[in-house]
Each structure stands twice: as C-alpha cells, then as structure tokens.
Amino acid sequence: MATVNGYQGNTPVAAPAGTAASRQPVNAPKIVDSQSVLRRLQSELMALMMSGDCGISAFPEEDNIFSWKGTIQGIKDTVFEGTEYKLSLSFPNDYPFNPPTVKFETGCFHPNVDTCGNLCLDILKENWSSAYDVRTILLSIQSVLGEPNISSPLNSQAAQLWSNQEEYRQVVLKLYKPPSA
C-alpha cells in the first residue's frame, strides 16, 4: 500500500490507478467501523431515552438503526409553541465523523427550512463536530426554531415575516399540519 502511494505521488500519470487503489483502504476501515457506529448509535439511543429531555424524542426506524425518526416541539413563548414537528435523521456510515442528514417531515414555516423540509443549520454542515449527538442536534433545531438565522434564509417569505411575530404566529398555525404518526 505504501508503495502504491509513493508511486502515485511521484508519477502523476499513474494517479487514476493510484486513487482507485487508495480508495479501497479508505473503505476497508469503514466496514470495520460500522461496528463502532452501531455501538455509538445504540449508546445514543439509550442516552436519549434516559435523558428525559422535554420536547424532543427520536427512535430508529423499524430495522435500520442508521435511519431515525425524531420529533421536536416548539418552545414555549415562541411562535412555534404548541406545534410538533417530525424529522428524519439519516446517519452516514462514517458517523459521527460526518453529520447525519436531517429533514423536516412535517411542513415547517421557518426562515431556515425550505418547502421540501431541508434544513440549513451550520452545525449539520461545516460546523459539525463529532462530539454532537442526536440529542444535541434535536435541541439545536428546537432552539433554532425560535431564533432563526434571518441573514441567509431558505424561505425568504418567512424571513421577511419574522419581524412581525403576531402575523407570523398566525401563518404558522394556518400552515401547521400535525404529524400523522
């Protein structure tokens, strides 16, 4: 393996073959890692269930621990009070070194959530840290609901309306459809 890398470094011509070869060892540890990813997700599930945080919950889908369904409730005294949102969390094979993909399954009228439910949150992208877990993700999303980042909105209509909290509340309640399950 070391010789292959050295070869690649010295002769750019062989680069394609070299990268193809070097990709394998990157994948190989990932397969081994899946055991530790499982362990981590299981531990997180336990911790989340034991923590008893109010307003957030999550649980793996039937037979796939890499895919979770979570719910968050709007924080009291925000325009989202009394609403509940269902999310899907999909964990990559190299979790926690890369963040899970989080989407709103319930429509959410929010400056940082687009109409498809995609969420723009720095800690789930460039500011991800492997020290985060499902619990901190859900708590972060919960707090972002009440404190959106207006400067880079996905939903510009919501961003514009944010300054008028009373009207915003009306729109939230009008558009809100409680999660079915």
Q: CB nearer to another protein: give 34 or 67.
A: 34
Report residue 93 as tokens: 């094979």
Regarding 24 and contact with another protein (CB under 8 A), the answer is no
Report residue 181 as tokens: 């399950």
Q: Which of 77, 131, 180, 181 binds another protein (CB under 8 A)?
A: 131
Q: How many whole angstroms separate alpha carbon 144 and alpha carbon 163? A: 16
Q: How far is the CB of 161 from another protein (least distance, A)?
A: 32
Inter-residue long-range contacts of 168-177, CB under 8 Å, 24+ positions, other chains counted = 168/79, 168/109, 169/79, 171/109, 172/79, 172/80, 172/83, 172/109, 173/83, 175/107, 175/109, 176/83, 176/107, 176/109, 177/106, 177/107
The catalytic position among 54, 108, 116, 120 is: 120
Regarding 40 and contact with another protein (CB under 8 A), the answer is yes
Q: CB nearer to another protein: give 88 or 149.
A: 149
Q: Is 120 a catalytic residue?
A: yes
Site string for another protein, 85-104 (x = CB under 8 A): -----------xx-------
Give residues in contact with another protein (CB under 8 A).
36, 39-40, 43, 96-97, 127, 129-132
